[in-house]
A and B are shown apart, each in its own frame.
Chain A
């Protein structure tokens, strides 16, 4: 499965949009992009996933570039409770279904 690269940390002001980038330049055609977040000492929480179209749900929006080599997770109005480590994972839609976690981005939302 493709590797992902994320910045190690980011800060965001409360109430502003948080834009978290992920690079997955070696992604192949049948690989999806998944986003999870992990709040301290809890299990990861599913946020959103996509293949090539932009996706939106009640938590976030996922913007995938046309060449699919990078994506951005957008939290439209960040709150203090969004402080967490955010993981971008690329995985095939079939096969072993394994996730390989990278180091993620530690997002800190500031009051």
Chain B
């Protein structure tokens, strides 16, 4: 199946700093990627849709200035959590869409962000 990677897998940062998370499609090109966040024992919540070469589309309630998304190439999307605070601590997961057959998404392994 299609492989999606994320880097870093785990990051700890101080409050007020910015953190960048990378999402890469390793063996296919992805014009569309998605970013989710997941709190402990909760389901995944869609944050935004990342489209290569254009602005991301954010879900209602997600601050676009807080969570900057860049999709500069067909294999890379980045999520930057700006001025992170402890309440931003979460599990961030990306996925990439394959435009064929069922148009299913393939997910990365996730990034655990802890803000002190």
Residues of A within 8 A of B (CB): 32, 34, 36, 38, 41-46, 49, 87, 93-94, 96-104
**Chain A CB within 8 A of B49 CB:** yes
**Per DSSP, are chain B's interface residues mostly helix, strand or loop, or mixed?**
strand
Within residues 59 to 104 of chain B, which ones have a CB less than 8 A from any CB in chain A?
Answer: 91, 93, 95, 97, 102-104
B104:A44 contact, CB within 8 angstroms: no
CB distance from A33 to the nearest CB of B (A): 10
Give B contacts to A, CB under 8 Å: 1, 4, 6, 32, 34, 36, 43-46, 49, 57, 91, 93, 95, 97, 102-110, 112
Q: Are B44 and A42 in contact (CB under 8 A)?
A: no
Residues of B within 8 A of A87 (CB): 43
- Tell whether A43 pairs with B1 under 8 Å between CB atoms, given A34-B104, A97-B32, A101-B44: no
Main SS at interface, chain A: loop
Which of A38, A46, A101 is in CB contact (< 8 Å) with B106?
Answer: A46
Rounded to whole angstroms, the CA-CA distance of A46 and B44 in the bound complex is 14
Q: Are B32 and A43 in contact (CB under 8 A)?
A: no
Q: Do A44 and B91 touch across chains, with their CB atoms under 8 A apart?
A: no
Given A43-B108, A46-B1, CB of A99 within 8 Å of CB of B34: yes
Q: A43-B107, A44-B93, A44-B107 are in contact. Are A101 and B102 (CB under 8 A)?
A: no
Chain A residues contacting B4 (CB-CB under 8 Å) are 43
Nearest-CB residue, chain A, relative to B103: A97
Whether A100 contacts B49 in the complex (CB less than 8 A), given A34-B102, A41-B112, A46-B106, comes out as no
> In the complex, which of the residues B6, B57, B104 has the most CB atoms of chain A within 10 Å of its own CB atom?
B104
